[in-house]
Amino acid sequence: MKTNYYITTSIPYLNGQPHLGHALEFLMADVLARSARQNGHPTIFSTGTDEHGAKVAQAAAKHKMTPQAYCDHMSLEFKHLLKLLDISADRFIRTTDANHEKRAGLIWKALSKDIYKGKYAGWYDVKQEEFIPVGKADPARMKPDHPQAYQRLEEKNYFFKLSKYTDQIKQAITSNAFQIYPTTRRNEILSLLEEGLEDISISRPKDQLEWGITVPGDSTQVMYVWLEALINYITVLNYPEGDDFRHFWPANVQVVGKDILRFHGAIWPAMLLALDLPLPKTLYVHGFITVEGETMSKSLGNGIHPKEIINKYGLDPFRYYFLRHIPSYDDGDFSWQTFDDAYNNELANELGNAVQRTVVMIQKYQDGVIGDIPPASHDNAAIAKAIEVCKFDRALDEIWQQVRGLNQYIDEEKPWEIAGSGDKTHLQEVLSYQVSCLIEIADLLVPFLPDTAAKIKAIFSGETVKPMATTLFPKLEVAKD
């Protein structure tokens, strides 16, 4: 029996439409989940939506809706995106689910030895739902006319003894019991820990913010949105008594973006330590996507809904671009031009062509009969390793080496000349080797481009090649407006 595998994404706020950044994160986690399943690991892949807090309450008010009705509506938008992207998630948690709320109360109580009453006087960033640690506030945002001005808070709330866990977290990271990829992000957290963590506020007075889960035993306070959002990773497994929790925690990989590193690299591990639970094995931190070189923002109105791209090019090209051309360990850019180039050069001319040529030659020279296919012949350890360390771009680079290698093989062997010479045995060897390479490539593509992988396998699954209804990546006339 293979070991269990648990993978999570962060759970997006519902204050706006899903965008390319969310899509990127879902896709990366999807590759890990599909790869784990392909390797025979019983897998749980969880995602969901983060529904409480000031930011969502404000968005609901702007739409003149109750927070609950607004969340019911917006949560569906994220579910639709998961479907559109063919994300293989097995769980979708909403932080307004009764099960989550109930377990959040249990967890609050379990943390109570590390909770005390205090007074917070400082800045609050609604955009990030963050109490700004002393000395970290951006002076520009202290001015009320700044578009993303902080709120000034002076309120009584509950605190969590975060400071107490600084050394234990540092130790877990430096010993690699808790791995953080990439190293730049690991170093970022280590330097934060070096400065020492301060205790943090973990509730808000209800007269300041109503939209949240009531603190057990104090009906005047709601839990801080991050506190109850982070625990989604275990409430979804029915912590504490659930079988899933017992069998699947700690998570193998938690996928998050670079802006929420502090929450996942410091606050969440401290909460787990306070609960006496093991830390996740790996935290993978992806970068940010820009669009045509610009930060995505509501004011610029340049956020692209993933469906705009998918409607024009199809899903697998979308998956391909975001997994290969957005650097897995860095920020990246989407532009229509680079997308179009990748589609034409790499998908249509390289992969599509290798399949097309092979099918056509088998039809032309062998009446479609494939013959015996030799076993896969490449060493794919580097690809497995790249996936293990969440270098999706590198894994696809390696797979494309094989695609290019195959096209080169065809160019050099010139099966059409062999056919001309009448050497049927040699021709059969060459063509079935091409098929073997394509099946191997399809297997490698399963986690990345599941539909394309299935199509390639289907073409070569019988005695004779199945004619392709359409070429895999047809040439498109794409309007670029």
Rule CB under 6 A: which residues touch ligand MSP? 10-13, 21-22, 24-25, 50, 229-230, 232, 256-257, 259-260, 288-289, 296
Q: In whole angstroms, give the CA distance from residue 404 to residue 412.
A: 12
Closer residue to ligand MSP in complex, CB, 294/417: 294
Q: In whole angstroms, give the CA distance from residue 22 to residue 465.
A: 39
Cβ neighbours of residue 72 closer than 8 Å, sequence gap 6 or more:
none
Q: In whole angstroms, give the CA distance from residue 63 to residue 211.
A: 16
Cβ neighbours of residue 345 closer than 8 Å, sequence gap 6 or more:
none
Closer residue to ligand MSP in complex, CB, 52/170: 52
Q: In whole angstroms, give the CA distance from residue 262 to residue 341.
A: 37
Letter for the amino acid at 339? F
Closer residue to ligand MSP in complex, CB, 254/428: 254
Q: Quick check: 355 and 469 in contact, CB under 8 A?
A: no
Query: Residue 259 Cβ, how far from ligand MSP at the closest point, in Å?
Result: 5
Q: Residue 236 has which token pair? A: 């979804």
The DSSP call for residue 177 is S
Closer residue to ligand MSP in complex, CB, 310/446: 310
The residue assigned the tokens 């790499």 is 346
Query: Residue 169 Cβ, how far from ligand MSP at the closest point, in Å?
Result: 17
- CA-to-CA dists, residue 476 to 3, 343, 354, angstroms: 44, 9, 18
Query: Residue 4 Cβ, how far from ligand MSP at the closest point, in Å?
Result: 21
Closer residue to ligand MSP in complex, CB, 29/419: 29
Closer residue to ligand MSP in complex, CB, 197/256: 256
Query: Residue 295 Cβ, how far from ligand MSP at the closest point, in Å?
Result: 7
What is 360-373 written as a DSSP string? HHHHHHHTTB--PP
Closer residue to ligand MSP in complex, CB, 114/129: 129
Query: Residue 339 Cβ, how far from ligand MSP at the closest point, in Å?
Result: 16
Query: Residue 15 Cβ, how far from ligand MSP at the closest point, in Å?
Result: 8
Q: Which residue is at the shortest CB distance from ligand MSP?
A: 257
Alpha helices by DSSP H, listed for 39-182, are 54-62, 67-84, 98-110, 166-174
Query: Residue 160 Cβ, how far from ligand MSP at the closest point, in Å?
Result: 15
Letter for the amino acid at 28? M
